[in-house]
C-alpha cells in the first residue's frame, strides 16, 4: 500500500468514524413529494405496505426514514418462491448461520437477495430489530459517494482535502485521532474512512444533490442546510416552529442527528448489488415479479462495488474478507448514547460476490465495550457469507 494508506491504517486499523454526539431527533417529515429524478414519478402507498410486511415501523421521529412513496415507472424481476407451499423467504440454514454469528450480542443481521428483495435471514439479539433506529457512522459514505459520482464532478481518483477538522462549531467534523491529511483520492477516503473528505464532498455538492440521492435510496431527509429541523404538519405542509438547522457537513459524513435502521443499510448494499435498482424487500414469497426502482446508473453501482471491494481488501473492513469469495463492504462506528458512554453502534454492510452479487448483508451490533464496525460487525458478516456462499476455509 502507499505511504498514505499505511499512515491511515496505523491511525485507524478498524475505526472508521469518531463517536459523534447525537443531537435532538427531528420530529416531523416534510410533506412535499420527492423530485421525479431519473424519470420516476413517486406515489404514496407501496412502501407503507412494505414496511408493515418486514416489520419496519413507519414513524416520523427520525432524521432519515424510508419514504412512503413509490415510482410508477419501474421494472420487474422474476421471483423464485421455492414452491407453492412456501410461506416465507427465510432460509432456515441462513437464518441459523446469522443467529449463530450474532450470538448473544444485542444486534441485528439481515441477509437479502439484492436482485429480488427476498429476505433470507433476520436474526435479532436483545432489543434490536430491523426497524431500530441507530446512527450509521461511515456506512452512510455510500450515499455521499453515490451523490458525488452521479454528479459527474467526481470519480474514484478525484482528490479531495482530508485536512482535519473541517467546519466549526456544530458543523465541525474531525478524522479519527484528528489526523489531518492532504489531498486523498475518493477511493482512498472510502477505503480508510476519512470523515472530513465526505463532509467536504457533501458541502461542495450542496443540500439539493445530497437530498435527492438520499430520496433515491428511499431515505427521506428534512432539516439540514437551511431547512427547519422540526415542525408540525398543517394542510399537508410542514410548518416550522423554530429556525433550528442541522449542518450539512456532519450529515454527509454520517454524523450529527443522522439515524437509520438496519433494513436501510441492507438496502444501500442491495441497490449497489442490483446495478443501481432497488428491489422492494419482502419476507413473503411473491407470486409475480418483484417491483424495482432506480437509484443510480449501473456504471455508478459497478464503480462503487469496486471501491467497496477495496475497503474489504485493504481498509477498515478486512475482517469481512473470506478467502475464495469476493466480498465488498463498508464499516461504520458511532456512539450508541445512553448511560454507557463507552457503548458504540458497530455496523457493516456488504455484498458478495462483488462482481455479480447474490447476497446483500447488514450487521448492526450495540457493543458495550466500544468495539468498532471493523472488529465487531465485519467478522459476523464474514461468518454468515462463508456459510451462504462458501469460500475456502
d(CA 117, CA 76): 11
What is the overall mean pLDDT for the chain? 78
The full set of domain ranges for the chain reads: 3-75+86-389
- State which CATH number among 3.40.710.10, 1.10.3720.10, 3.40.220.10, 3.40.1160.10 fits the domain covering 3-75+86-389: 3.40.710.10
d(CA 174, CA 18): 7
- Predicted local confidence at residue 42, as pLDDT: 34
pLDDT tens readout for residues 326-343 = 999 999 999 998 899 999
pLDDT tens readout for residues 345-379 = 999 999 999 999 999 999 999 999 999 999 999 99
Average pLDDT, integer, range 203-229: 73
- Predicted local confidence at residue 392, as pLDDT: 58
Lowest mean pLDDT among 196-210, 246-260, 318-332: 246-260
> What letter would DSSP give residue 338?
S
d(CA 138, CA 198): 9
Q: Is the pLDDT of residue 51 over 60?
A: no
Lowest mean pLDDT among 62-66, 83-87, 338-342, 350-354: 62-66
Cβ neighbour number for residue 331 with a 10 Å cutoff? 35
- Predicted local confidence at residue 61, as pLDDT: 25
Average pLDDT, integer, range 267-280: 96
Residue 39 binned pLDDT confidence (cut-offs 50, 70, 90)? very low
Cβ neighbour number for residue 61 with a 10 Å cutoff? 13
Cell numbers 419482502: residue: 282
More confident residue, 51 or 351: 351
Query: Which pTM does this prediction carry?
Result: 0.79
- Predicted local confidence at residue 256, as pLDDT: 81
Amino acid at each position: 500500500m502507499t505511504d498514505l494508506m499505511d499512515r491511515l491504517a496505523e491511525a485507524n486499523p478498524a475505526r472508521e468514524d469518531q463517536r459523534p454526539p447525537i443531537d435532538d431527533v427531528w420530529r416531523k417529515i416534510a410533506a412535499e413529494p420527492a423530485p421525479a429524478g431519473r424519470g420516476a414519478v413517486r406515489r404514496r402507498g407501496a412502501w407503507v405496505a412494505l414496511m408493515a410486511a418486514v416489520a419496519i415501523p413507519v414513524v416520523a421521529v427520525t432524521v432519515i426514514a424510508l419514504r412512503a412513496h413509490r415510482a410508477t415507472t419501474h421494472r420487474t424481476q422474476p421471483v423464485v418462491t421455492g414452491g407453492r407451499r412456501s410461506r416465507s423467504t427465510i432460509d432456515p440454514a441462513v437464518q441459523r448461520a446469522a443467529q449463530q454469528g450474532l450470538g448473544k450480542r444485542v444486534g441485528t443481521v439481515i441477509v437479502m437477495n439484492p436482485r429480488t428483495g427476498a429476505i433470507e435471514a433476520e436474526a435479532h439479539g436483545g432489543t434490536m430489530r430491523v426497524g431500530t433506529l441507530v446512527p450509521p457512522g461511515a456506512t452512510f459514505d455510500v450515499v455521499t459517494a453515490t451523490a458525488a459520482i452521479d454528479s459527474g464532478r467526481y470519480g474514484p481518483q478525484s482528490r479531495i482535502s482530508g485536512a482535519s477538522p473541517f467546519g466549526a462549531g456544530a458543523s465541525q467534523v474531525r478524522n479519527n485521532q484528528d489526523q489531518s491529511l492532504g489531498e486523498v483520492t475518493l477511493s482512498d477516503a472510502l477505503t480508510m474512512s476519512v470523515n472530513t473528505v465526505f463532509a467536504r464532498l457533501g458541502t461542495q455538492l450542496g443540500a439539493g444533490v445530497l437530498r435527492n440521492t438520499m430520496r433515491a435510496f428511499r431515505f427521506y431527509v428534512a432539516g439540514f442546510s437551511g431547512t427547519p429541523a422540526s415542525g408540525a404538519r398543517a394542510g399537508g405542509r410542514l410548518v416550522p416552529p423554530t429556525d433550528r438547522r442541522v449542518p450539512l457537513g456532519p450529515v454527509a459524513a454520517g454524523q450529527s442527528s443522522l439515524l437509520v435502521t438496519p433494513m436501510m443499510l441492507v438496502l444501500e448494499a442491495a441497490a449497489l448489488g442490483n446495478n443501481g435498482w432497488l428491489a422492494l424487500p419482502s419476507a413473503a414469497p411473491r407470486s409475480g415479479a418483484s417491483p424495482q426502482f432506480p437509484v443510480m446508473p449501473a456504471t455508478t453501482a459497478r464503480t462503487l462495488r469496486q471501491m467497496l471491494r477495496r475497503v474489504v481488501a485493504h481498509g477498515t473492513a478486512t475482517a469481512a474478507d473470506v478467502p475464495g469469495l469476493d466480498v465488498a463492504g463498508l464499516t461504520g462506528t458511532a456512539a450508541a448514547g445512553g448511560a454507557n458512554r463507552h457503548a458504540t453502534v458497530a455496523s457493516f454492510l456488504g455484498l458478495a460476490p462483488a462482481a455479480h452479487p447474490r447476497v446483500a448483508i447488514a450487521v448492526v451490533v450495540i457493543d458495550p465495550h466500544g468495539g468498532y464496525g471493523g472488529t465487531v460487525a465485519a467478522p459476523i458478516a464474514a461468518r454468515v457469507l462463508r456459510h451462504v456462499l462458501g469460500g475456502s476455509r
